[in-house]
Structure 1
Amino acid sequence: MSRWYLLAGFAMTGLLLAGLVLSNPNHGTSIDSGYYLQSAANLLAGRGYVVQETGRLVWNGTFPIGYPALIAGLSGLTGLSVLVASKLINGLFLMVSGWVWTRRLGTQRATWMLSVWWLGGFLKLLTYTWSEAVFLVLLAEWVWQLHCLLTAPTPRRTIVLILVGYALFLVRYVGGYVFALTGLLALLSWLSPERLSLPIARQRSIGRQLLTASLAGITGLGTYFELNSLFSDSAFGGERFLPTESSGQLAWLFGRALLNEGLLIRDFTVGGSDWLAWLGVGLQGVLLSLGGWRLRRAYRPMNDERQTATLSQLFVMTGFVYVGVLFILRTLSPFDAPNLRLMAPSTFCLLTAGLLWVGQLPVQYQRLIRPYWAMLLLGSWLQLLPQANLNHKLNQVQARLFVHR
């Protein structure tokens, strides 16, 4: 597959994102976006990493500094507003990611892997001034660096793994979970190395490197939280650990969230009309059934490529561990209920693992799957429609477009 097709896909994605931002009454911003943009503007103005609260500037411990610093840096270099810079940051990270993964896997496999970004839910993350898009790009990079370390452990690869993990944390606090995962892998490398398919001669070396990465990362997290305490009155940006819902309610919240993450075309909502979601369930079921049936009829056993298989396994593990960590944190802190943004890392990892597997199939099998996946991608753009007050918001968009004309 020619790289020109991939480049054309990115160009179309850029145009689509620009249209989505311009058609959105708030230009793809939310309350969290306000924190990011205000912090970035204050960094640019030399006031430090602060936001305005109750009429005074205070240290922004609510969100880590990474994403606002990226926005401020690009805005300062280009002279663009922080809002425009925030949109470009998301797009630039995706483009660099596409270039890097194409060099690693080849155009064909990389195209399958990167097509996850053309799902409606992930296009929405790219459209908004949220840190999730950058976080997901970095998470994929972290999994790759972990794969490289497990393949051939060296001090340099350990350092790179630590740095990428810390970048994840600086973009979203929850990114620190990768250091807990690294520690778990260190334990597995000693107790059950066959689960990681590690060469016997390298078990001890890999275990030491993983433990080093875990301890160094956790030390870095502690240092940042100490800075939060130094510049504000809380290590975690306010009261985080408060009473939350009962275990039964939490199980229901996560069960509903996991159901929605499996629905690629349209999510179910609470208190709203779900006819589009039911339409999506039917369409997704038909497409997956037909595609799976055709693949099963034509499929013949083959020798898997070890690199892609191991990489897919690491993505699956990273996604499942994230869900577990998110559930534990939610039992300790009453932050938002699991939604598109919070669940995106697990969905991203699991879908990426599946698409990597598809990308290693012989071309004739990929051709069978491609039209069904393309229709699923197009259908998933229903996720871009507002979840609440759909008719009212569509009328607002129509009026806005009419005014621009």
Structure 2
Amino acid sequence: MKVSQRNHLFGAFLIIVIIAVLCLRISVEATHYRSPDSDFYIRVAENILEGKGLRGPNTFPFDENTPEQHFAAWAPGYPILTAFVAWLTGGVSVFWASKMVNFIALIAIYFLLFKWVGSRAWFPFLYFCSFAMLEVYSYSWSEPIFLVFVLLLAYQLKNAWYERERLFFLKLTVTLSLLFFIRYAGLVYYFGVAFYAIAAFFMNRRKLSFQCIISLAICSILALGYFYYNYLQVGDYTGGERVFPDWINNLDFIGNLLHGFLNSASLARNFYLATDEYLYFALMLIQLAVIGYMITKRRLINGPLLKTNEDVYALWGTSFSYMLILLILRRLSPFDPFDYRILSPFILPFFVGLFMAILKKEAFFQKVYRPIVAFMMLCLVMNLPKVYLLEKVKALLSMIL
């Protein structure tokens, strides 16, 4: 069998196994990975299917008798996509349609990576075996489909810089608009593209800069128009006053940020350290051992790992621009803590970029990919519903014995 065929088979295997793991996790977890946000999204999708339009409850918790109004608290993209998938598939419940949107997002990311790096797309895709990505893609949240367009934006900006993207203006306008209509946080990338346009202008890439500026202008008008529509419907641009936690001092802010980074860097662990200290440290030692092995093979790389790697520049530029603006906003107006959810647009392009950097160094890649694959498979196994599976095994053994 040719190497490219093996790569394709392993890529297909990864997609199937990750989706199977997600289905198992969703089926046996007590909440089925539904948060309050998820309940709103699902109710709005049900209302769309029933012909009521983009409407949702105005309080939480809610029931069938709770008054409803125009859904403005969150962007409309995810419930619309959920309703569309439910309609397209016929008898599938809205709940499972919301999960199917996540699975479709996973597959879309794989094909984007395939377009980006070819048949070895499976290697950066390994990051979806991590705890953070498995959690994000288990919940009925807008982040999974949002992350597709985060990576797509990085891909388009990289190609445009090197003049390899046809119809860039149109594609950028669509991508930025979809980022906003899936999550209001997509506006963060408008600032990132503005910085990109300024850099292009001062590097005598005036045509590229002009395309970005016009695209930003169109997308901004669309965003402002939608906010105004929300205002006309409910008297507020985003559905009402937001509730924020108490203000924290600088030391607590830094501590919360470092805790979030530590969680993001720990690929195989459960998120809540207090419940599994020994397992956490054991997994961290294995992860550090893999990193240590990679360091011993550093001599196989000619020059810096990230030198002249345009893919990494694009992905990390997207990653760190999001993080910079998030830090500013989070400090000015405290909201969610730095967990895997809010950090996902930072950590996904960061780790995909890191995996791509390894992939581009052929001799180094050939020496280190096996332990990396083994560790990421361990991540996948450790994020199975272990207690549930052990109980099933015990029950089976008791029947046999």
The answer for the alignment partner of 2:359 in structure 1 is 359
Question: 2:115 aligned to 103, 121, 135, which one?
Answer: 103
Contact 1:116 1:352 in 2 (8 A): yes
Which region of structure 1 is more displaced relative to structure 2, 118-127 or 41-50?
118-127
Change in 2 beyond 3 A, CA 1:221/1:248: farther
Question: 2:255 aligned to 247, 252, 256, which one?
Answer: 252
The answer for the alignment partner of 1:81 in structure 2 is 93
Task: Give the C-alpha shift of residue 56 in structure 1.
Answer: 0.6
Question: 2:298 aligned to 290, 296, 303, which one?
Answer: 296
Query: How far apart, in 2, do the equivalents of 1:132 and 1:263 lie?
Result: 20
Change in 2 beyond 3 A, CA 1:13/1:185: same
Question: 1:122 aligned to 130, 133, 138, which one?
Answer: 133
3-state SS of the aligned residue for 1:106?
helix
The answer for the alignment partner of 1:93 in structure 2 is 105
Question: Percentage identity across aligned positions?
Answer: 21
3-state SS of the aligned residue for 2:257?
helix
Change in 2 beyond 3 A, CA 1:127/1:270: closer
What TM-score does the superposition give when structure 2 sets the normalisation length?
0.87
Query: How far apart, in 1, do the equivalents of 2:165 and 2:147 lie?
Result: 25
The answer for the alignment partner of 1:184 in structure 2 is 195
Q: Which amino acid aligns with 1:124?
A: E
The answer for the alignment partner of 1:69 in structure 2 is 80
Q: Does 1:263 align with 2:266?
A: yes
Which region of structure 1 is more displaced relative to structure 2, 148-157 or 24-33?
148-157
Task: Give the C-alpha shift of residue 326 in structure 1.
Answer: 1.4
Q: Does 1:12 align with 2:17?
A: yes
The answer for the alignment partner of 1:311 in structure 2 is 311
Query: How far apart, in 2, do the equivalents of 1:311 and 1:127 lie?
Result: 28
CA deviation digits over 1:335-359, x for unaligned, max 9? 2211110011111111111111122
Task: Give the C-alpha shift of residue 141 in structure 1.
Answer: 0.8
Q: Which amino acid aligns with 1:240?
A: R
Contact 1:155 1:209 in 2 (8 A): no
Change in 2 beyond 3 A, CA 1:365/1:7: same
Q: Does 1:47 align with 2:52?
A: yes
The answer for the alignment partner of 1:26 in structure 2 is 31
Q: Which amino acid aligns with 2:357?
A: W
Query: How far apart, in 2, do the equivalents of 1:228 and 1:144 lie?
Result: 32
CA deviation digits over 1:41-70, x for unaligned, max 9? 111111121112352111222210001100
Which region of structure 1 is more displaced relative to structure 2, 171-180 or 249-258?
249-258
Change in 2 beyond 3 A, CA 1:248/1:234: farther
Task: Give the C-alpha shift of residue 142 in structure 1.
Answer: 1.1
Query: How far apart, in 2, do the equivalents of 1:283 and 1:221 lie?
Result: 46
Contact 1:149 1:158 in 2 (8 A): no
Number of residue pairs matched by the alignment = 384
Task: Give the C-alpha shift of residue 8 in structure 1.
Answer: 2.0
Query: How far apart, in 2, do the equivalents of 1:304 and 1:253 lie?
Result: 29
Contact 1:153 1:209 in 2 (8 A): no
What TM-score does the superposition give when structure 1 sets the normalisation length?
0.86
Task: Give the C-alpha shift of residue 20 in structure 1.
Answer: 1.6
Q: Does 1:276 align with 2:279?
A: yes
Query: How far apart, in 2, do the equivalents of 1:315 and 1:60 lie?
Result: 33
The answer for the alignment partner of 1:197 in structure 2 is none
Q: Does 1:149 align with 2:152?
A: no
The answer for the alignment partner of 2:63 in structure 1 is none
- Give the unaligned 5+ runs of structure 1: 194-199, 387-392
CA deviation digits over 1:15-58, x for unaligned, max 9? 22222222222222121110110111111111121112352111
Change in 2 beyond 3 A, CA 1:160/1:395: closer
Q: Which amino acid aligns with 2:251?
A: G
Q: Does 1:136 align with 2:147?
A: yes
Change in 2 beyond 3 A, CA 1:71/1:268: closer
Change in 2 beyond 3 A, CA 1:328/1:24: same
Query: How far apart, in 2, do the equivalents of 1:25 and 1:269 lie?
Result: 17
Task: Give the C-alpha shift of residue 273 in structure 1.
Answer: 4.9
The answer for the alignment partner of 2:62 in structure 1 is none
Q: Which amino acid aligns with 1:182?
A: V
- Give the unaligned 5+ runs of structure 2: 60-65
CA deviation digits over 1:184-204, x for unaligned, max 9? 11122233x3xxxxxx5xx11
Contact 1:186 1:208 in 2 (8 A): yes
3-state SS of the aligned residue for 1:275?
helix
Contact 2:273 2:280 in 1 (8 A): no
Contact 1:315 1:350 in 2 (8 A): yes
Q: Which amino acid aligns with 1:261?
A: S
CA deviation digits over 1:79-131, x for unaligned, max 9? 211111111111112213323432342102x2222222122321222222111
Query: How far apart, in 1, do the equivalents of 2:161 and 2:221 lie?
Result: 22
Question: 2:213 aligned to 200, 207, 211, which one?
Answer: 211
The answer for the alignment partner of 1:378 in structure 2 is 377
